[in-house]
Chains A and B, each alone.
Chain A
């Protein structure tokens, strides 16, 4: 049972500060051989926490800069134009210039705004996204913390961004912002439910909520074992990170930019940062839970496998984003409640039955072997095809009734209060 501090970067930093010997630090009390004197365990704890925060923060900020550049270049290729190409090789410094420009812009706060709420909201928007990276294993032994409730931690923490959206919407004292905030809250809350349930399949097969254990369980990647779970999770992750088919909250053509309307300068930059970092976080979670995380074949180091898979997922997300139109709010809600929710329940049922069938009574903690996973995959693919076909049938738009189209056009008689009843075509007189 891996405990809170076992074998992570956090614990290594902590133990070096306290004791200089990880093995002894794990086995006994603290007898200040390390950098810090005795009885300063809490200081070591704090220092380790700060080092970890510093590492996460800067790595993520750097990768967001790179991601935005890649995003713009790929977007340009999709639209057959060249994209940013002036600053630096292949326009790589454009995002850096953009970031500097954003920082030096004038910071405007609307006169009617609730200043406290208005100013805190961007910060609260960024915090949950960054916290996700604390539990993700980036490679073999390359992780900060392996919480034994890891995946639940991610779902709980990301739900905090709903509050930030409400605060931004209310704080800017703007009707359009309130509309967009309400849309956003409805979307985030609806997609959280299928998202959480689709993860349960992976959790059942792995027998643990810890992300390290989920990676360990994937002798066959879970995208093959439970395609339905992957599909639902990927769609929900797109929706939660506010990507285009689901960006009803920003919706430039209807709401301006929604709750971002009144934000300027670095406060807007924070929202922008949170959106792109959320995309990266979603890709990292999908990689870990469904694409067997850092696992790969021998000569290439595990970290490269992780970031390679993550890049592939990000490219797929960009592809969807650049080629799909925005859905209407009612279509978005309908998809979550009428389509994805049922699909996750079907996935949960089929996977749960097979977990119960294959579970070994004598060794409850054991992982499933590759053969058992392949059998599960075979059954789940049949379930996948059948249920997608059935849900597609149910959700497909109804064809127009022929009677409506063929109804004879009748003029509205002048001086008559009532519209004469329209006869259906073919109806007997």
Chain B
């Protein structure tokens, strides 16, 4: 789906969210005060959530706000308060070449993945829906990982407002079905790993008996 073919308001929302995400991220690494950096990190997370909303993945966007803004950034802020010199603590490590190489590698791998991903399928779904103008006739049986017979496409394909909003509707239901049907094992294993991590943290933090 070409971004510039959809309406102006979506484009404006995209640029606003991107500007917030990137601008706040730049501030995180440039600002000297570590606490302020952690607050800017929270704003960057909000910008990323905005990008998810633009892509009509409301569920992921909401969870991004709930987990990253509501919990993770607060934990980061508390961890930062333990730093002795908060106002001048964000120092350079003094190895610009190493940092540049690592950053270049990460950037290159991201670009590589972006080029290798088959975006064609998403385009096909959008086009099929727009051309047919039918209500949710696209059956995701040929899309791997989706339960066959489940419609993942907006029922309001021909609806101009629906089209402006994006291709997919009700991502929440599809994600829920995938989590507890197709990827149940992985889901449960992640739950076990997190529980183990939590118990481990408690075991480390527990006060030792001095006797």
Contact = CB atoms under 8 A, between A and B. Distances in A.
Contacts, number: 107
Contact of B172 (A5, A11, A116, A149): A149
B70 interface: yes
B161 A1 contact: no
Chain A interface main SS type: helix
Interface residues of B, number: 37
A48 B36 CA distance: 34
A170 interface: yes
Contacts of A26: 159-161
A261 interface: no
Nearest to A11: B161
B44 interface: no
Contact of A116 (B36, B58, B62, B65): B36
Given A11-B161, A116-B36, A157 B65 contact: yes
A156 B70 CA distance: 7
A30 B71 CA distance: 42
Contacts of A30: 160
Contacts of A25: 160-161
Interface in B8-32: 8-9, 11-12
Contacts of B11: 42
Given A170-B77, A209-B172, A163 B165 contact: no
A259 to B, nearest CB: 13
Contact of A117 (B35, B71, B160): B35
Contacts of B167: none
B65 A160 contact: yes
Interface in A1-54: 1, 3-6, 11, 25-30, 39-42, 45-46
A159 B71 contact: yes
B39 A155 contact: no
B70 A160 contact: yes
A28 B160 contact: yes
A27 B69 contact: no
Contacts of A182: 78
Nearest to B8: A42
Interface string B43-73: 0000000000000001100110110011101
A11 B11 CA distance: 19
A42 B65 contact: no
Chain B interface main SS type: helix
Nearest to A154: B62
Interface string B62-91: 110110011101100110010000010000
B160 A159 contact: no
Interface string A116-129: 11000000000000
Interface string B156-171: 1011111001000110
Given A152-B59, A156-B66, A166 B74 contact: yes
Contact of B78 (A3, A6, A45, A185): A185
Nearest to A192: B70
Contact of B161 (A4, A162, A178): A4
A40 B12 CA distance: 12
Nearest to A165: B74
Nearest to B163: A29
B154 to A, nearest CB: 7
B126 interface: no
Contact of B74 (A11, A117, A162): A162
A116 B81 CA distance: 17
A114 B7 CA distance: 42
A189 B71 contact: yes
A102 interface: no
B69 A42 contact: no
Contact of B69 (A41, A147, A160): A160
B7 to A, nearest CB: 5
Contacts of B63: 152, 156
A167 interface: yes
A153 interface: yes
Contact of A3 (B65, B81, B158, B162): B162
Contacts of A42: 7-9, 11-12
19 contacts: A1-B169, A4-B161, A4-B165, A6-B161, A26-B159, A27-B159, A28-B160, A42-B11, A42-B12, A45-B12, A114-B33, A149-B58, A149-B62, A152-B66, A156-B63, A160-B70, A166-B78, A167-B39, A209-B172
Given A27-B160, A28-B160, A182-B78, 5 more contacts: A26-B160, A27-B158, A155-B66, A170-B35, A189-B74
List 3 A-B pairs, minimum CB-CB distance, nearest first: A159-B70, A42-B8, A156-B66
Interface of A: 1, 3-6, 11, 25-30, 39-42, 45-46, 114, 116-117, 147-149, 152-153, 155-157, 159-160, 162-163, 166-167, 170, 178, 182, 185, 189, 192, 209
